[in-house]
Amino acid sequence: MAAAAVATSEDLSQDPAFIDELNATASTTPFNNRHETILHTSLGTDKPFSSQSPGPKKVNGHKKLNASEVNDLIQSKIWQLESDVFQEEDEEKATARAARKANKELTELVDSHEDYLGKITAIQQKYSELFQEMKRHEREHMRAKKRAEQLQKEKDQARSDVKKALSVKEKLENLCRELQKENKRVKEESKKLAQSEQEKRDELSSKFESKIWEIKSRMEEHHGEKLIQQADENDVVKDRLKTFFEQYELRDAHLHKLLRSKDLEVQVYMARYDRQRKLAEAETARAKMLLNQVSTFTQTETELRSQLNVYVEKFKQVEDTLNNSNDLFLTFRKEMEQMTKKTKKLEKENKQLTKKAETMNKNILEMAEERTKQQKEAETTKKRMTKLESLCRAFQAERIALESKIAELEGGLHESYDDDDDADYDDEEYDEDEEGLDDLDEEDVKIEESPDLVDKDNFLFDIKTIEQALKQYEPAHVSGNESCPIHNESGPRRQERLKMLLEEHKHQLKVDSVDYMHMQG
């Protein structure tokens, strides 16, 4: 029966449904009850597992919790939720303070520079610093993430080891319970068997004594004839008693052998129990160590997660500041591009203006040179004019003298009537001569304008002064000279001769004007 119990316990340990049920009970059983069970098992006390305080009843495969445990769980959950809410609020406040501080530092950094280039360089430096910090946070985040994954794997491994240890512990506890039950049953059976054997012995001894007393009484009654018969009966009874005692000894030996085998089985079970108890103690120590490691791992995981959340918030802040700085940088870049376009345009205009200024300077220099030349030519023309004026004055004086002489001579040679006619004719001729000179001034004396001629008014003024001088000179010369054939001629011949002289003077004036233009050029 003990072997059957061991076989059934081994079969249950190999059954997966039984293992799953053990895992569920281990996960739902309170930790203190499990440790109490392990403690009683490891101490080897005879306290039966059925006599322990029964755990909460199972409802639908799960243990039913009492009101105090439910209240404790609800209070712990409420405290955890409140702590999470307070922690989130503190983190949000810290992130808001960090964002305000970063914005304030950025505005102070930008306001510390007056020009746009300084602001752009400051923003670029801040952008590079924030970019480097972001990359560093990313690297730390990746390292923390890898560390968290590794810790999670170790935690899962530790949990699986703890689950395995708990399942083994539960199996050992159940096995110990079965062994204790089997041991108790064997002890009770052996005790019952010993009592029954003792009762049988007592019954046999009482029967034997009663038989002996009966035999003695009969022997005393039938001491005579029946001695032989009694002896034979005694021999038969002795043989029966001998066989009975032999059977009894054999049964007693068999019983002793059975008890010895049961004791050996109990010793084997106790040895197995001690071995399993030691293994359970080692597993409990290992489970405690793993639980400590799991607690440390969970603590480090929570710390790393909090640091990771802080890094994520900082990364978001850095990303926001980078986006703002990128927007500012893009605006400044657009302004810089516009300024570069304006500067290029202004440089082009400046180059054009410099070219125009150079051309203007060249033109001014050329005009200054031309002005100096014209001033020199004006001085020469002034000298010529002075000479011509002196000549004109001399000619006028000579004309006046000649006119006075002519008047005296004409008064003495001709008659008064002829004098009047001649005077009228001379006046008409003189008027015609003046009209011819006017025609020369207005029609025949035409100066070809050249693009290189600068001071045309001065040139025309010189020509007009020369023409006036010739006008003043020509009549006096013609009228005052007595040997002049024009004075002696009269009528149309005189008019033709005057026209010829005017043509010669026109041609001479044209030649002089051409020479003057060549000189100006």
- Provide the pLDDT for residue 502: 64
For residue 248, tell me if it sits in a domain. Answer: no
CB 26 within 8 A of CB 206: no
Of 271, 265, 273, the closest CA to residue 3 belongs to 265
Which residues have C-beta within 8 Å of that of residue 325, sequence separation ≥ 6?
106, 123, 126, 127, 130
The span from the CA of 284 to the CA of 275, in Å, is 14
Residue 54, pLDDT > 50, answer no
Averaged over 345-366, what is the pLDDT?
A: 87
Final residue before a domain boundary, out of 328, 360, 378: 328
Final residue before a domain boundary, out of 291, 312, 328: 328
- Provide the pLDDT for residue 493: 64
Final residue before a domain boundary, out of 280, 312, 328: 328
Averaged over 457-472, what is the pLDDT?
A: 48
Residue 348, pLDDT > 80, answer yes
Averaged over 330-335, what is the pLDDT?
A: 82
Averaged over 451-476, what is the pLDDT?
A: 45
- Provide the pLDDT for residue 401: 85
For residue 324, tell me if it sits in a domain. Answer: yes
Q: What is the domain extent for residue 449? A: 414-520
The span from the CA of 287 to the CA of 377, in Å, is 126
In percent, the amount of the chain with pLDDT more than 70 equals 64
- Provide the pLDDT for residue 418: 53
Are 298 and 420 members of one domain?
Answer: no
pLDDT bucket at 414, cuts 50 / 70 / 90: low
Here the tokens at position 378 are 């004006």
Q: Which of 167-181, 205-219, 334-348, 355-369 has the lowest mean pLDDT?
A: 205-219
The values of phi and psi at residue 415, to 5°, are -85, 170
Averaged over 154-163, what is the pLDDT?
A: 84
Residue 396, pLDDT > 50, answer yes
The span from the CA of 497 to the CA of 499, in Å, is 5
Averaged over 458-467, what is the pLDDT?
A: 47
In this predicted model, what pLDDT tens digit does every residue of 187-225 receive, in sequence order?
A: 888 888 888 888 888 888 788 788 778 777 776 666 656
Q: What is the DSSP string of 90-138?
A: HHHHHHHHHHHHHHHHHHHHHHT--SHHHHHHHHHHHHHHHHHHHHHHH
Here the tokens at position 348 are 């082009």
- Provide the pLDDT for residue 126: 78
Averaged over 58-80, what is the pLDDT?
A: 63
pLDDT bucket at 62, cuts 50 / 70 / 90: very low
Q: Which of 174-188, 351-365, 447-461 has the lowest mean pLDDT?
A: 447-461
Are 72 and 184 members of one domain?
Answer: yes
Residue 153, pLDDT > 50, answer yes
In this predicted model, what pLDDT tens digit does every residue of 472-498 receive, in sequence order?
A: 444 444 444 444 444 444 555 655 666
Distance in angstroms between the alpha carbons of the first and the last residue of the chain: 151
Averaged over 147-176, what is the pLDDT?
A: 84
- Provide the pLDDT for residue 516: 57
- Provide the pLDDT for residue 19: 45
For residue 322, tell me if it sits in a domain. Answer: yes
Using DSSP's 3-state secondary structure scheme, residue 185 falls into: helix
Averaged over 92-111, what is the pLDDT?
A: 80
For residue 251, tell me if it sits in a domain. Answer: no
Averaged over 104-116, what is the pLDDT?
A: 79
Here the tokens at position 95 are 């992130």
Of 214, 190, 216, 203, the closest CA to residue 244 belongs to 203
pLDDT bucket at 101, cuts 50 / 70 / 90: confident
For residue 360, tell me if it sits in a domain. Answer: no
Are 305 and 433 members of one domain?
Answer: no
Tokens 């202004």 belong to 346
Are 197 and 316 members of one domain?
Answer: yes
Averaged over 490-510, what is the pLDDT?
A: 63
The span from the CA of 105 to the CA of 111, in Å, is 10
For residue 281, tell me if it sits in a domain. Answer: yes
pLDDT bucket at 448, cuts 50 / 70 / 90: very low
Q: What predicted TM-score, i.e. pTM, was given to this entire model?
A: 0.28
Averaged over 165-181, what is the pLDDT?
A: 84
Are 191 and 324 members of one domain?
Answer: yes
Q: Which of 108-122, 407-421, 493-507 has the highest mean pLDDT?
A: 108-122
pLDDT bucket at 342, cuts 50 / 70 / 90: confident
Are 324 and 418 members of one domain?
Answer: no
Residue 47, pLDDT > 60, answer no
Of 466, 486, 475, 462, the closest CA to residue 396 belongs to 475
- When the pLDDT of each residue in the chain is averaged and rounded to a whole number, the result is 70
Ramachandran assignment for 44, one of left (phi > 0), alpha (psi -120 to 50 degrees), beta (any other): left
- Provide the pLDDT for residue 494: 56
Rg (CA), the chain: 77
Q: Which of 81-90, 178-187, 328-337 has the lowest mean pLDDT?
A: 81-90
pLDDT bucket at 520, cuts 50 / 70 / 90: low
Tokens 């064997």 belong to 186
Residue 119, pLDDT > 80, answer no
For residue 397, tell me if it sits in a domain. Answer: no
Using DSSP's 3-state secondary structure scheme, residue 13 falls into: helix
- Provide the pLDDT for residue 432: 47
For residue 254, tell me if it sits in a domain. Answer: no
In this predicted model, what pLDDT tens digit does every residue of 264-296 receive, in sequence order?
A: 888 887 888 888 888 888 888 888 888 888 888
Question: How many domains, in total, are found in the chain?
Answer: 2
